[in-house]
């Protein structure tokens, strides 16, 4: 319908008013009208529903009228609020511009960054609501003075705040004598534990969803004609939106055609030997660099602990000494990836995807190795030191690492992209503008998120700090991309990139963090003078003591049964692992079958 007459519009509104809510929404959405016209029709339908509800006078009670009017008012308020919310939500527009200008390869980085931002927002809300807010009720006034240097060191004034583990009480919080109580030990361990379980399930679901969506797409090989002829949105009338849509479709078609027309280059025996030698030499250089960096971080961390235990002062020199370890670690994590990117260009891979995956593999080895050395330092050396509250010391180290890594990430955008553009356009014109380094930037995000996950147990509000950092990084990277970088020289489709990023976040990063948290909760003895688990042989002992208390209550027998027969049962986890492996195998067989069908379909289309 291009034009709706007055009588036809009245009939349409009457028919829509008689429909159920879900069917009415779908019918309005499917109308070939502009968004403004659809909103007008929706508002008229709601008005018609309100009129009909008022004319039912004698049959409906006053309470029914009030409920119906309230429901319609809330529905209108919800629609208005969602429309206003979309106006202020700038992520969608920014992602559309990036996709149209730079393609899906660069877009995958920003989608991954947005996904991590939502992750940290969820974590911050949970920790703040169930751990920090109850502690505020039992907290004593902070007598330490704030100098401003604490923003960089994380020490001083922040030690007596909810930012760190050592500030939390081990008592049961209650505002009145006979009122409800709040067990901080159980709240702490359950909040952190349930959060990691939810993260585990979200990561698994996201990997499965993106894998089935991106790795197997039979319609990819036959969708170019439909993209060209059938995907234009005729409701778009704005000139900027039209040009953006044209660029978007053009980039998509170029990526798909590059994937279909990809040629396999044949090399002679001599060329193959030379390429293999270059690859082996590059990997030897990258692994040697990673080993040297890990050795440097280890010896520096030992020296850092000695300085801390000797000093324990609040003067400027002692606090500045604590920044040496995060500065050197961040410097290594910033400079060495540039060396890896140079190695990738020297190897001359056939496709940009191969170069990006090689760079990501080398960066993940470097960053995860450094994190592993730091975890060994925290759990084996710091935990056995003479520190009064080693958990707070670990939390401060992670806070400094997160903050300094964020600063170096911003400096990397300035030196690695802005200055590179100035040099490439003025000094060495042959270099030209730089391309956006996807591998290096993605691994920076995974490294930062890994530190945040480890630090949740020692600094519950750390996800809030990381959430602010990711928000700033998004806008800085977007501005730097638009101003300093050029689109990829070789257009290529990267539907699998997001799946690969989530897999790297899950397999080396998240599973490693679970191992660190498991050792801390089950094996290490908490500090005697601080934290909610003071005086216990381990953090897990708080849960065991709670189960012993529940055994005296008949109502809670089911909780005790679950604990003894499921949580502490090796047989249960063995059976659960077997079921997961069987489901994974069956899912993989289905994927392989669909992939075979896709290859056959591609051959038929090409022929």
Q: What is the 3-state secondary structure (H, E, C) of 436-483?
A: CCHHHHHHHHHHHHHHHHHHCCCCCCHHHHHHHHHHHHHHHHHHHHHH
In the chain the first and final C-alpha atoms are separated, in Å, by: 41
In this prediction, residue 219 has a pLDDT band, given cuts at 50, 70 and 90, of very low
Residue ranges of alpha helices (H) inside 128-223 are: 133-138, 150-153, 184-214
Range with the largest mean pLDDT of 362-366, 570-574, 584-588: 362-366
Are 48 and 17 contacting, i.e. CB atoms less than 8 angstroms apart? Answer: yes
Residue 189 belongs to some domain of the structure: yes
Are 504 and 438 contacting, i.e. CB atoms less than 8 angstroms apart? Answer: no
Residue 37 belongs to some domain of the structure: no
Distances (CA, A) of 47 to 8, 60, 69, 334: 17, 18, 10, 60
- Residues facing 182 on adjacent strands: 173
What are the tens digits of pLDDT across the range 42-96? 888 888 777 766 655 544 455 555 666 666 666 665 555 555 545 445 577 788 7
Q: What is the rounded average pLDDT of the residues 510-533?
A: 90
Residue 183 φ/ψ, nearest 5 degrees: -85, 110
Q: What helix, strand, coil percent values describe the chain, rounded to 5?
A: 75, 0, 25
Are 402 and 462 contacting, i.e. CB atoms less than 8 angstroms apart? Answer: yes
- Better pLDDT: 81 or 599: 599
Structural domain of 463: 94-260+267-526
Are 425 and 432 contacting, i.e. CB atoms less than 8 angstroms apart? Answer: yes
Residue 113 belongs to some domain of the structure: yes
Residue 57 belongs to some domain of the structure: no
Q: What is the rounded average pLDDT of the residues 384-406?
A: 88
Range with the largest mean pLDDT of 109-118, 202-211, 252-261: 109-118
The confidence score (pLDDT) of residue 6 equals 52
Q: DSSP E strands: which ranges in 67-212?
A: 172-173, 182-183
The confidence score (pLDDT) of residue 74 equals 61
| Residue 136 pLDDT exceeds 80 | yes
Across the chain, mean pLDDT equals: 78
- Cβ-based burial of 120 (10 A; exposed 0-12, middle 13-18, buried ≥19): buried
- Whole-angstrom distance, CA of residue 333 vs CA of residue 314: 29
Per mean pLDDT, which range of 149-158, 397-406, 495-504, 522-531 is the poorest?
495-504
| Residue 124 pLDDT exceeds 90 | yes
Q: What is the rounded average pLDDT of the residues 388-392?
A: 87
Q: What is the rounded average pLDDT of the residues 525-531?
A: 88
Residue 412 belongs to some domain of the structure: yes
- Cβ-based burial of 562 (10 A; exposed 0-12, middle 13-18, buried ≥19): middle
* 3-class SS letters over 337-356: HHHHHHHHHHHCCCCHHHHH
In this prediction, residue 373 has a pLDDT band, given cuts at 50, 70 and 90, of very high
The confidence score (pLDDT) of residue 293 equals 92
The confidence score (pLDDT) of residue 583 equals 75
Range with the largest mean pLDDT of 73-87, 138-152, 240-254, 542-556: 542-556
DSSP single-letter state for residue 219? G
Q: DSSP E strands: which ranges in 524-573?
A: none
% of the chain residues with pLDDT over 70? 74
Residue 473 belongs to some domain of the structure: yes
Residue 99 belongs to some domain of the structure: yes
Range with the largest mean pLDDT of 345-359, 542-556, 581-595: 542-556
Residue 313 belongs to some domain of the structure: yes
The confidence score (pLDDT) of residue 468 equals 93
Residue 486 φ/ψ, nearest 5 degrees: -110, 160
Q: What is the rounded average pLDDT of the residues 22-34?
A: 77
| Residue 358 pLDDT exceeds 80 | yes
- Whole-angstrom distance, CA of residue 443 vs CA of residue 450: 10
The confidence score (pLDDT) of residue 233 equals 59
Per mean pLDDT, which range of 17-21, 309-313, 483-487 is the poorest?
309-313
Q: How many domains does the chain have?
A: 1
For the chain, give the number of residues.
Answer: 607
3-state DSSP call for residue 116? Answer: helix
| Residue 455 pLDDT exceeds 90 | yes
Q: What is the rounded average pLDDT of the residues 22-26?
A: 77
3-state DSSP call for residue 179? Answer: coil
DSSP single-letter state for residue 377? I
Nearest to 441 by CA among 491, 467, 478, 468: 478
The confidence score (pLDDT) of residue 4 equals 47
CA angle 184, 396, 514 (to 5 degrees): 65
Q: What is the rounded average pLDDT of the residues 13-23?
A: 78
Q: DSSP E strands: which ranges in 133-180?
A: 172-173
What are the tens digits of pLDDT across the range 479-502? 888 888 887 665 555 556 677 788
497-504 and 184-214 helices cross at what angle (nearest 10)?
150
451-479 exposure pattern, b = at least 16 Cβ within 10 A, e = fewer: bbbbbbbbbbbbbbbbbebbeebbeebbe
The confidence score (pLDDT) of residue 87 equals 44
* 3-class SS letters over 379-430: HHHHCCCCCCCHHHHHHHHHHHHHHHHHHHHHHHHHHHHHHHHHHHHHHCCC
Residue 236 φ/ψ, nearest 5 degrees: -80, 120
% of the chain residues with pLDDT over 90? 18
The confidence score (pLDDT) of residue 43 equals 83
What are the tens digits of pLDDT across the range 151-201? 888 887 888 888 999 899 888 887 666 667 788 889 999 999 999 999 988
| Residue 317 pLDDT exceeds 70 | no
Q: What is the rounded average pLDDT of the residues 380-407?
A: 88
Per mean pLDDT, which range of 240-244, 550-554, 579-583 is the poorest?
240-244
- Better pLDDT: 594 or 140: 140
DSSP single-letter state for residue 435? B
Q: What is the rounded average pLDDT of the residues 556-576?
A: 81
In this prediction, residue 356 has a pLDDT band, given cuts at 50, 70 and 90, of confident
């Amino acid at each position: 319908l291009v034009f709706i007459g007055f009588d036809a519009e009245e009939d349409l509104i009457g028919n829509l008013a008689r429909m159920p809510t879900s069917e009415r929404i779908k019918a309005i959405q499917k109308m070939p009208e502009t968004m403004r016209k659809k909103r007008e029709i929706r508002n008229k339908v709601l008005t018609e529903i309100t009129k009909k509800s008022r004319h039912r006078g004698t049959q409906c009670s006053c309470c029914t009228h009030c409920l119906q009017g309230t429901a319609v008012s809330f529905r209108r308020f919800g629609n208005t609020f969602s429309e206003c919310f979309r106006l202020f939500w700038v992520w969608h527009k920014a992602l559309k511009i990036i996709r149209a200008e730079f393609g899906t390869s660069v877009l995958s980085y920003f989608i991954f960054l947005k996904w991590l931002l939502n992750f940290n927002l969820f974590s911050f809300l949970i920790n703040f609501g169930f751990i920090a807010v109850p502690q505020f009720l039992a907290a004593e006034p902070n007598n330490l003075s704030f100098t401003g240097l604490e923003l960089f060191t994380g020490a001083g004034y922040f030690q007596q705040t909810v930012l760190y583990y050592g500030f939390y009480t081990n008592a049961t919080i209650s505002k009145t004598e006979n009122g409800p109580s709040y067990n901080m030990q159980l709240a702490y361990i359950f909040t952190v534990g349930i959060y990691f379980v939810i993260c585990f399930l979200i990561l698994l679901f996201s990997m499965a969803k993106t894998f089935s969506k991106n790795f197997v797409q039979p319609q990819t090989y036959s969708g170019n004609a439909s993209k060209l002829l059938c995907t234009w949105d005729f409701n778009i009338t704005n000139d900027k939106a039209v040009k953006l849509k044209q660029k978007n479709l053009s980039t998509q078609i170029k990526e798909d055609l590059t994937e279909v027309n990809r040629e396999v280059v044949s090399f002679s025996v001599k060329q193959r030997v030379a390429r293999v030698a270059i690859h082996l030499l590059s990997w030897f250089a990258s692994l040697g660099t990673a080993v040297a960096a890990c050795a440097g971080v280890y010896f520096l961390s030992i020296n850092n602990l000695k300085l801390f235990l000797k000093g324990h002062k609040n003067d400027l020199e002692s606090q500045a000494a604590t920044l040496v370890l995060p500065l050197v670690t961040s410097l290594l994590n910033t400079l060495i990836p540039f060396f890896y990117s140079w190695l990738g260009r020297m190897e001359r891979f056939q496709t940009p995807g191969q170069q990006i995956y090689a760079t990501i593999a080398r960066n993940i080895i470097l960053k995860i190795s450094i994190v592993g050395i730091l975890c060994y330092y925290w759990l084996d050396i710091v935990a056995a030191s003479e520190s009064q509250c080693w958990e707070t010391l670990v939390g401060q180290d992670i806070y400094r690492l997160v903050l300094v890594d964020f600063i170096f990430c911003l400096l990397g955008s300035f030196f690695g992209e802005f200055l590179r553009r100035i040099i490439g356009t003025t000094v060495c014109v042959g270099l030209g503008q730089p391309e956006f380094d996807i591998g290096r930037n993605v691994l920076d995000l995974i490294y930062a998120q890994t530190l945040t996950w480890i630090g949740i147990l020692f600094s519950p509000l750390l996800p809030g700090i990381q959430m602010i950092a990711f928000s700033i990084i998004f806008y800085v990277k977007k501005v730097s991309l638009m101003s300093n970088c050029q689109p990829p020289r070789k257009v290529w489709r990267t539907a699998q990139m997001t799946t690969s990023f989530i897999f790297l976040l899950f397999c080396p990063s998240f599973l490693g963090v679970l191992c660190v948290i498991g050792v801390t909760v089950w094996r290490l003895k908490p500090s005697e003078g601080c934290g909610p688990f003071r005086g216990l042989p381990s953090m897990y002992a708080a849960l065991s003591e709670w189960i012993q208390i529940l055994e005296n209550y008949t109502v809670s027998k089911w909780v005790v049964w679950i604990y003894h027969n499921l949580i502490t049962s090796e047989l249960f986890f063995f059976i659960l692992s077997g079921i997961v492996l069987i489901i994974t195998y069956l899912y993989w067989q289905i994927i392989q079958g669909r992939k075979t069908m896709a290859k056959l379909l591609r051959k038929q289309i090409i022929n």
